[in-house]
A and B are shown apart, each in its own frame.
Chain A
Amino acid sequence: MRYGMVIDLNKCVGCYACVIKCKQEHFLPPTMEWGRVLMSETGTYPNITKHMYPVLCNHCEEPACVGACPTNATQQREDGIVHIDQNKCVGCRYCLIACPYQVRSFYAHEKEYFPGQGLTEFERIGAKLYPLQTGVVLKCDFCLERVDEGTGKGLKPGVDIEATPACVNICPAKARFFGDLDDPDGEASKLIREKRAVQLHPEYGTDPSVYYVIG
């Protein structure tokens, strides 16, 4: 069992729905993004290609962050999901330095979405439903609460919406796929195989569980 994601860059249009939905789903504070969209251009005018890479935690098979964490706050589950136990994190940020993909964030202090105007009801409800501690490192957890709750109901992540990460469900281009990479018949595995999806910077040796279909 190894949960992973495939992002088809041929389909992605860089609309930021995934990034915003992630912030909404987890009630993330201002400026914190567990997903981002990286952009670049290559080529010679006028034959240029613009690249848009939606990035998130790669939930690496060999995660550099887990080994760097002195308190075991960052843990890897048996299903491959790498997550952070906020109660154990002391905010040393070694993991931020260790992660070669720069997809971790340090939540320094509480901020308001409308500066100086107080917290909105959205933020207040978020603090109740999805409490985030300040002084700790946070990152994408493949929506493990959705995955766990969904599988608990007998649903299949990547197939059933309730058991699937929010960014996968919301993508208007249907560019994201989620599932067990060890299941050769799963949609994600098939895409990796058939469309020769690649990992970002495999040379780092962390064996990411997020793959990209390029071109």
Chain B
Amino acid sequence: MGDAFRTVLLGLPMTLVVTASAFTIGILLGFPVMLGLRSRYAPVRLAFRVAVDIVRGVPPIVWLFLIFFGVQFGAIRMNALTAAIVGLGLVASAYLAEIYRGGFQVLPAGQHEAAAALGIGRYNTFINILTPQAFRTVLPSITNYLLSLIKDSSIASTIGVADMVLLANQYARQNPDMAGIVPFLLAAIVYFIVSIPVALFARRLDSKVEGKR
């Protein structure tokens, strides 16, 4: 049991690396994608809408296989870790762009009008007035997305990233005398423990945002 636990824990850094990298890509790339979704030009809006819907409509595992097996630069293929980070980062960008968009959507039009009345430029209004407010509204959704990304990072194991699930799987196959459920149960417990700080943070945010209303 202790042996299984140590093996599973060896995969924890990889789980965290995949999650954190994909999350960072999503947080950064989600912003320009959100701008595309809110563009003034209908064709741009439509193009981004279709792209975001397709990225979200294809299961992450298909993205990972497509990127890992399908994308080549000359004779060089991406390694599994890079492919997993790129794939999950792509999916995260689409989901986070949608979350950001929702945040701007609910801002009262009065904010925009008041800024215009005060003679504040469009760019300044967007960056200094609208964005901070939108960000505060969507912060709980972002932390919730992070919680689901921690779990989705397990999909990286399907293309051979040595995360907790892959090591649990190996351990289960190599030790058939032990009940097969044990290493996965241990992995599940570690996922729980990793999620607790994020969940507590989300709960605190929730009560804060509620209080501000």
Q: Report if A and B associate in a common complex.
A: no
Q: Which residues of B contact A (CB under 8 A)?
A: none
Residues of chain A whose beta carbon lies under 8 Å from any beta carbon of chain B: none
